[in-house]
Amino acid sequence: MCGRFTLTRSAAEVAEHFGLAAVPELAAHWNAAPTQELAVVRVRSSGERVLELRRWGLVPRWAKDVSVGARTINARVESVFERPAFREAVRQRRCLVPADGFFEWQGKARARRPFHLALPGGALFAIAGLYERWHGPGAEVVDSFTLLTRPARGAVATLHDRMPLLVDPPGYAAWLDPTAPDPAALLAALPEALGADLVARPVSTRVNDVRNDDPGCLAPPEEPPLPLFSA
């Protein structure tokens, strides 16, 4: 599972990395969380790559309301073609989600410790995603997305059994192409070597609260209080 991630790079860096003609100003996120409006990259019918903001938590077209999005922030690669919420989107509406890290936790209950996972040097990367547009009552429109996950490996496997599906840059064009004739074969052949290079670093428990979205979320963990000595 991936329930929080970071994107702290500038709009210019994102535009260069993803081959975008222009990118609007982006708010930095040190603790991006579900239901927030976050950046995704997709391809228009004209073939142009664009960046737009979408709600994290995919809302299928047939959903009665947007609350279903709370249960669809992730899509497993093993079942994405069978799940009703995702099977149409994976064939026609694939996207890339820019990020420079994500969080996982180790331990139980109040003893859980957060870790930030990133590439060496904090380089930008892309998480494979799917997007959708939902039309609700009263002309309400919600554009949303989900992140694909795969079995964990490398540094992530010591913390959790799942991780986001990172796409290597040579795979961007194929993943974004809405006309791919065999999406299942595309997914199976997707280059994803970057995921093995992630490095885990313990960070502040500030990230545990979704209301915190500032550089302090990536600060080193707070030192435990020193024991009191009796006379």
pLDDT band at 20 (very low <50, low <70, confident <90, very high): very high
Q: What pLDDT is recorded for position 56? A: 98
Confirm whether 217 is a catalytic residue.
Answer: no
* CA-to-CA dists, residue 229 to 8, 78, 112, 226, angstroms: 43, 54, 27, 9
Find the catalytic residue in 16, 48, 88, 104: 104
Task: Determine the Cα angle at 44 with ends 38 and 48, to 5°.
Answer: 100
Confirm whether 2 is a catalytic residue.
Answer: yes
Section 49-58 average pLDDT: 96
Q: What pLDDT is recorded for position 208? A: 94
The three-class DSSP label of residue 201 is strand
Q: What pLDDT is recorded for position 231? A: 47
Section 77-85 average pLDDT: 96
- Measured CA to CA, the distance from residue 127 to residue 195 in angstroms comes to 10
Residue 51 pLDDT more than 50?
Answer: yes
Q: What pLDDT is recorded for position 23? A: 82
pLDDT band at 52 (very low <50, low <70, confident <90, very high): very high
Percent of the chain whose pLDDT exceeds 70 = 96
Section 176-195 average pLDDT: 94
Go through 124-157 and write b for each residue having 16 or more CB atoms within 10 A of its CB, e for each that does not.
bbbbbbbbbebeeeeeeebebbbbbbbebeebbe
pLDDT band at 139 (very low <50, low <70, confident <90, very high): confident
Architecture of domain 5-218: Alpha-Beta Complex (3.90)
Residue 190 pLDDT more than 50?
Answer: yes
What stretch of H or E contains 184?
helix 183-188
Find the catalytic residue in 2, 95, 132, 217: 2
Q: What pLDDT is recorded for position 183? A: 95
Q: What pLDDT is recorded for position 224? A: 63
For residue range 91-123, what is the model confidence (pLDDT) as tens digits?
A: 999 999 999 999 999 987 777 899 999 999 999
Across all residues in the chain, what is the average pLDDT? 93
